[in-house]
Structure 1
Amino acid sequence: KMATRIEAENLDFIHRELRAGRPVVLILSHLANWELFAHILPKYIGYVRNSTIYQRLGNRFIDEHVRRVRGRAGVEMFDRKEGFDKAIKLLRDGGAIGILSDQHAGDHGLWAPFFGRLASTSPLPALLAKRTRAALVGVAIYTDGRARWRIVISPALENNEESVGSLSAKTNQVIEQQIRRAPEDWFWVHNRWKTPRPNFLLARYKRGVYLPPDLSAQNLKPFRILIRSSNWLGDAVMSVPAVRAIKNGRRDTYITVAAPAKIASMWKLVSEVDAIIPLTGNSLVAAARSLRRQSSFDAAILFPNSLRVALESWLSGIPRRVGYRGHSRSWLLNQIIPEPRRPGPLEHQSSRYLHIAHDCGAETSNIEHRTPNIATASIHQRSTIDHSPIRIGLSPGAEYGPAKRWLPERFGEAAAAVTARSPVQWILLGKKNDARIGEQIATALGESCVNRIGQTTLEQLIDELRQCRLLLTNDTGTMHLAALLGVPTVAIFGSTEPRLTGPLGDRHIVLRHHVECSPCFLRKCPIDFRCMKAVSVQEVADAVMSILQQ
C-alpha cells in the first residue's frame, strides 16, 4: 500500500554498488516523512541485509514503538551505545545501512561547513565507509503531493583515499543539496548549529575542524564573539593574550571588543580584533543600545566582574554570556567560569583572563607574549648611527593613587644620573593629574627633557612610546602599554605585587623591595612609604643603563 504512494528516482545508483559486492552506507536526513525509509527501502534492496543505527529515545514507550515499526519490514536496529561492531560486520557481509546524518553531533562530532557555517557533524558515515570500503550514497525523500512522496538517490561519493574529514564535509554537501531541493520539507525545528557548552571555541576538540581545500575561513559565516574589555588601560593590556587565544580558538571567529572610549584605541594594536565599539558616557541603556546596533553576537565574554557589564550583555540579548561570578551577577550569566577552590601560588592577572579563554575551549598552553609588528627598530638604530640622543620615556604618575608613585625628586635624580653617563632625551608622559610632578622633574632635568604630561591623547601616547628606547615607570597603564608595543621597561613597584600585575614579556626589569607591609594595595600609604623609599636612585639608574647597553 505504501509502495503505491512512493516513487523512486535513480535506484540504479544503489543497485550498481550492491551487485558489485560493495556495501552501501546511505546518507539520510530528516526530510518530509523520513520514517518511510524503514518501510520502503527493504522493498527496493531486500536482497541484502538492511539496517540502521539509532539512538534510544528518552520515553521508553515511544522508543519501543518506533523500534517495532521500523523493524517490521526487516530493518535491523543497532543501538549507538552498544558500539558499531555489528554494523561493521553487516557492511563487510555486503549489506546496507542507513544513517540520519543531518543533526548536531555534539562534542564527539567533527566541525565542518554546513550551509557556510561550521556545524558539529557526525563522522560515523565516513568512518564506516573507510573501515569497510563501503559506498556513500545520499538518499532523500520529498513530499510529492497529498499523501505522496518521492525518493531521490544521489550518485555515490568518490572515496579514493579521502580522509574522514573530507568525506564528512562531502556528506554535509549532499545534505545541503537535498534540503535546497525542498527546504520546506526539512526538520528546521532542530538547531543544527548549536553553540557547544562550555567549549564553543573548538581548539581542543578531538576531531577538530575540517575545511575543504576550496573553502577558506573568510568564506564561512562568522561566529561572532563580543569581548567586553576591562575599563583600565593596564588591565585591558593584560587581557590581550586571552583575546589572542580566543581568536585562535576557532577559524570562523569574528571578535568585536567593546571598551570605554578612553582606551578603545589601544585595541587597534591587536591584530586579532576585527572591530571595536567605543563606549561613551556612563549610561547603561546607551551602552546596551550600542551593542544591539551591531550584527547579532553568538557569545559575550566579560572580562570585568561588575554587575553593570553583565547587564550590558543581558540587555543586548546575547544568547551566551560568559564570565566569573563577580558581584551579584550570576543570574545574568549562563556560563560561569569556576574560581579556584583552594588558594595557590600567586598568578598573574593575565592568567585569570586566560582561564576564561581556556574554559571556553581555547588552547592556552602555548601562549606567547608577542608584540605588534611595528617599525621601532629603525628609530633605535638611527639614534645610534647619527649619535642623536636616545629617547627614554618617563612615566612618574599612577592614576590609582600616590601609594604606587616613586618619589618625584628621585625620578629626577635617577634621570640626571643616566643623562650624565649617556646622551639621552627624556620624554615625560602622563595625565593632567600628574602635571605638578612633571614640572618638578622637568625643572630638575632642564634641556634634556621634553614634558608631554597632560598633552597627549592615547593615540599620541602610543606614538611617543614607539619612538622610545625604553620606559622608566611606576606600575601604571603606560607600563603595560609599553610592554604591548615591545618597549622595554624599568618598572618600580611598592604597594602592588609584580607577580600579579608586572609587565608581560621578558625584556623588563622590575625593581621592588619587599617590606613587611607590602603589598598592601592601598591607594595612599598610611605610614612612612617605606616600600618606595627602599628603592634607591642608584639601582634605578643602573637598571636603565643595563638596558641601554644591551
Structure 2
Amino acid sequence: MAAPKSDQPTLLHRVEYAVFRLIEWIVSLLPMDSCAVLGRLIGRFFQFVSPRYRHLIRRNLRIATAANPLTPEELDALADETFRRAGANFISSLKSATMPAEELAAHIETTHCDLLSREEAGNGIVVTMPHMGNWEIMTKLSGLHAGVSRFGAVYRPLDNPLMDQLTNDRRTADGCQLFSRRDGFHAPISLLRSPGPMGVLADQRAGGQGVVLPFFGKLTSCSPLPDLMARRAKADVCTLSISTIDHGRWHAEMRLIGKSPGVLGIMTELEKAMRVSLPDVFWFHDRWRIDRIRPLSFYTKFDPEVATTATVPMRVLLTLHDDSQKDADILFDALFAVRPDLRIDWLTSLPGDHPDPRVVKHVWDHSAPDEHADGALDRIDTTHPAPLDAALLFGGTLVLAKAAKRAGLRSIIGCDVHGKPWTRSFDYPTNPVDWAEIAAELALVPKPKKS
C-alpha cells in the first residue's frame, strides 16, 4: 500500500508559496482592468514559448468547432484569443481572490443567479460549471445575492499544503463551504438537502471513474458526479457560464435544467454553457486525450452503441503491408466492433473508394522522399475538421512514425518495431484471429491497480 502524502510543507512548497504571495501582492495593487490587460500580455507571451499548448489548444478547438468548421485563419484567431483570455482570467482571479464580494460586484453582471437562493424553491441545486472565465467569481456569487446563507463547492485539494490552506481560508471566509472529492458524498448531500447550492466543475476528462459519452460530439469519459449528487439529494441542476464582457468585467449566467436529465443531458447543457464564449474556456486540459498503448480504450467499460451517437469521429492513420491488403476488411470489422466512432485514414496503393464511408483512402507513394512525410500527414489531417488522434502503422515506416510524432500524435502503434517513436509493437498477424486480438488489445480496459 502506498504511503500517504505528508501534510508538512517542503522547502519547495514554501518557495512556491512565497512567490505566489509576492505575485498576488503586486497584482492587488493594480485596478481590475489593468490586471486583465497585463494578463492578456502574459497569455500572449506564453503562447509564443509553449509549442505544446499551442498544439493542444488548437486540437481542442478543432474538436469543439467540428460541427461548424472554422477556416484556418478563424481557428488561428480563436486560439490567439484563448491564450489572451486565459492570461487575463488568471491574473484577474488573483485580484478577485483578495477583494470583498461587494467590491467585486462592480465587475460582474449576472443573469438568473437568483437561482442560488433555495429558500422558496424548497430543494438544493447542483451548479454544474466548466473551467471558464474568472473562476473566483463562483465562490463570491453567494455573497452577491440576498437569501443565500450556505453555498458549497466540490474541489480537488492542491498539492501544496500552504496554498491549499490559503485557498480554503479565503473561500470559506466568503461563505463558501469546500468539500474534497476524496471525502465522499455525505457532507455535500447534507448541504444540498438543507437546502443550498453546490458548485461542481464537471468539464474535465473523468478517466476510469467516468461515463463514456459524446462531448462536443466526440467520445470522452464524463463525470457522473453532478447527476449522482442531484439524484441522491433530490436537487435541481443548473449550469453556470462566465464570459468576458470587457477588460476586467464578466457576465455570469445560470440556466436552470430542473431535475437531473442524466449524465448525457447534463453534459449537453454544459456544452451549451461553454459555447457561450469558447475563448473564455480553459482549453489547456487535454479533454480528449488518448492512451499511448491502448488508444481505443477509455479505461472504463462502455456500450459500443454509444459510439454510434458520436458526431465527431476518432481518427486513426493506418498502413498495412502490400501483401496484407486482403486482411484489411478483417481488421476494419474488428476495429469498428470495438469503436464504431472510428474514421480510418488508410494510406494504400489500392485504387478506388472503400464501400464503408468510415474508411477514407489516401494514395501512398512509397517512392516519395522522406522529407515529404510531414506534408503528407498534414494534408491528410486537414481532410476532416477534427484532428488525427493516433497512428496504426502496421505496414508503415520509421519515417511515417517520426512524422506522426512531430505532428503531436500520442499513440503510434506498429508491428515488429522497437524503440522511439513507437509507443507499442505487435507481432505482424498471420491470420484473422490475430487481427481481431490486436483490435481487442487496443481497446482493452485494464484492471485497476490495487492501492
TM-score tier, shorter chain, comes to 0.5 to 0.7
Q: Does 1:191 align with 2:286?
A: yes
Residue 308 (structure 1) shift: 5.2
For the residue of structure 1 that corresponds to 2:332, the secondary structure is helix
Contact 1:55–1:79 (CA<8 Å) still a contact in 2? yes
| Pairing 1:221-240 to 2, within 5 Å after superposition | 221-232=312-323, 235-238=324-327, 240=329
Quote how far apart the aligned CAs of 1:18 are: 4.4
Inter-partner Cα distance in structure 2 for 1:132 and 1:322: 45
For 1:288 and 1:224, locate their aligned partners in 2 and report how far apart those are by CA, in whole Å. Answer: 17
- Check the 8 A contact 1:51/1:97 in 2, yes or no: yes
2:290–2:296 CA contact under 8 A, matched in 1 = no
1:292 pairs with one of 370, 373, 378: 378
Which residue does the alignment assign to 2:196? 95
CA distance in 2, matches of 1:258, 1:145: 48
Q: Does residue 174 in structure 1 map to residue 262 in structure 2?
A: no
Match of 2:424 in 1: 336
Kept after mapping to 2: 8 A contact 1:246/1:362? no
Q: Secondary structure at the match of 1:157?
A: strand
Cα displacement (A) at 1:36: 2.2
Give the whole-Å Cα distance in 2 for the aligned partners of 1:288 and 1:148: 43
Residue type at the aligned position of 2:401:
A
Give CA-to-partner distance per residue, 1:481-538, whole Å, 9 cap, x none: xxxxxxxxxxxxxxxxxxxxxxxxxxxxxxxxxxxxxxxxxxxxxxxxxxxxxxxxxx
Deviation of the 1:97 alpha carbon = 1.0
AA matched with 1:336: R
CA distance in 1, matches of 2:400, 2:276: 45
Shift of 1:172: 2.8
User: Is it true that 1:244 corresponds to 2:333 in the alignment?
Assistant: yes
Residues of 2 paired with 1:267 and 1:137: CA distance?
A: 47
Are 2:374 and 1:275 aligned? no
Identity in percent: 25
- Which letter maps to 1:172? M
Q: Which amino acid aligns with 2:378?
A: R
Tell me the distance in 2 between the aligned counterparts of 1:326 and 1:183: 43
The alpha carbon displacement at 1:309 in A equals: 5.3
Shift of 1:35: 1.4
TM-score normalized by the length of structure 1:
0.54
Change beyond 3 A, Cα 1:358–1:21 = same
Asked if structure 2 preserves the Cα contact closer than 8 Å seen for 1:31 and 1:186, the reply is yes
Is the 2:122–2:195 contact (alpha carbons within 8 Å) kept by the matching residues of 1?
A: yes
TM-score (norm 2): 0.64
Query: Cα RMSD (Å) of the superposition?
Result: 3.4
The answer for the alignment partner of 1:62 in structure 2 is 163
More displaced stretch, 103-112 vs 50-59: 103-112
Counterpart in the other structure of 2:392: 301
| Structure 2 unaligned spans of 5+ | 1-99, 446-451
Shift in Å, 1:54: 1.0
Q: 1:288 to 1:50 in 2, by over 3 A?
A: closer
CA distance in 1, matches of 2:189, 2:274: 28
- Structure with max Cα Rg: 1
1:361 — aligned with what?
Answer: 443
Number of corresponding residues: 337
Partner Cα distance (2:172, 2:305) in 1: 35
Structure 1 CA distance, aligned partners of 2:367 and 2:226? 54
- Within 5 Å, which residues of 2 pair with 1:437-476? none
Partner of 1:450: none
Q: Which residue number corresponds to residue 394 of structure 1?
A: none
Whether contact under 8 Å (1:267, 1:273) holds in the other structure is no
Residues 379-403 of structure 1: CA deviation (Å, up to 9, x unaligned): xxxxxxxxxxxxxxxxxxxxxxxxx
Q: Deviations along 1:307-363, whole A, 9 cap, x unmatched?
A: 455346446x25134324734x42112x31477xxxxxxx95444433432232169
Greater relative contact order: 1 or 2 (C-alpha under 8 angstroms, separation 6 or more)?
2
